[in-house]
């Protein structure tokens, strides 16, 4: 856990800062919208892969597309451990995670590009006072960095992968976010771009909208696949939650 200062107006899994909006009545749908970060709201999956390729090249290892499919959307600890095991690189896990986070920050070097439709969706949710949470497997230092581009005021809460004992694909991050917002997970809509995140959200009992980025996501009962966030708005999220009831 990094111990960084929470963004103003945003609650984090580490503590709380003032919340400025009023939650809508519990009977409304959705009671909350929980959003993944990398590949869902911001176009950063390519930056993460570039960071991994770059760091492992320094140890004389060339990563493959097959390895990319394994690590996409995964928590840092799991992805880094897999890459060490699959390459035999002589580096300890804590050192590797630090290097990957640092290289990622070097690569983005400024504003992070948003996915098509992301800004419009966040603006719409804010306009209707829908509680939102940013739920990511990335570490707190990365979330706080990306929040500069997304706008910390867009979220009541942010949950980082190094703040929860079990992160995605376990349901814990989404259960934590729903509880912190005072919402029933079954009346929450989750937007995710990887199977790892979708698995976590479905295990938490949430209504899930999947927007595949790098790796495909197969259709499944109760799983709503869209091509981009341009297809997602509040009426659509309301409908997917209502279908779950």
pLDDT at 21: 40
Q: How confident is the model at residue 75 (pLDDT cuts 50, 70, 90)?
A: confident
Q: Angle between the 93-108 and 140-150 helix axes, to the nearest 10 degrees? A: 10
pLDDT above 70 covers what percent of the chain? 88
182's torsion region: left (phi>0), alpha (psi -120 to 50) or beta?
A: left
Give the angle subtended at the CA of 30 by the CAs of 209 and 128, to the nearest 5°.
110
pLDDT at 173: 97
The whole-chain average pLDDT of the chain stands at 87
Torsion sign, CA atoms 149, 154, 156, 158: negative
| Residue 135 and residue 147 in contact, taking contact as beta carbons nearer than 8 Å | no
Retrieve residue 85's tokens: 């095991």
Residue with tokens 């060490």: 84
User: Alpha-carbon distance 116 to 211, whole Å?
Assistant: 11
For 112-152, the pLDDT digits (tens) are 899 999 999 999 999 999 999 999 999 898 899 999 999 99
Distances (CA, A) of 72 to 82, 86, 131, 155, 185: 12, 15, 27, 24, 25
Beta strands in the chain (DSSP E): 11-12, 32-35, 132-135, 157-159, 188-192, 207-210, 223-225
């Amino acid at each position: 856990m990094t111990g960084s200062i929470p963004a103003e107006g945003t609650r984090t899994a580490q503590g709380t800062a003032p919340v400025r909006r009023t939650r809508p009545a519990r009977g409304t749908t959705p009671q909350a919208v929980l959003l993944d970060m990398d590949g869902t709201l911001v176009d950063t999956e390519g930056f993460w892969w570039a960071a991994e390729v770059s760091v492992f090249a320094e140890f004389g290892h060339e990563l493959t597309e097959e390895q990319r499919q394994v690590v996409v959307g995964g928590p840092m600890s799991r992805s880094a451990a897999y890459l060490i095991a699959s390459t035999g690189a002589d580096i300890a896990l804590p050192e590797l995670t630090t290097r990957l986070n640092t290289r990622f920050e070097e690569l983005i070097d400024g504003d992070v590009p948003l996915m098509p439709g992301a800004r419009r969706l966040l603006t719409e949710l804010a306009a209707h006072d829908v509680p939102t949470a940013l739920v990511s497997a990335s570490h707190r230092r990365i979330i706080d960095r990306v929040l500069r581009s997304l706008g910390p005021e867009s979220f009541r809460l942010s949950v980082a992968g190094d703040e929860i004992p079990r992160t995605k694909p376990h349901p814990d991050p989404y259960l934590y976010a729903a509880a912190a917002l005072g919402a029933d997970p079954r009346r929450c809509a989750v937007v995710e771009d990887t199977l790892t995140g979708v698995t976590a959200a479905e295990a938490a009992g949430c209504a899930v909208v999947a927007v595949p980025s790098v790796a495909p996501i197969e259709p499944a009962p109760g799983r709503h696949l869209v091509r981009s966030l341009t297809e997602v708005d509040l009426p659509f999220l309301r409908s997917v939650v209502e279908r779950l009831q």
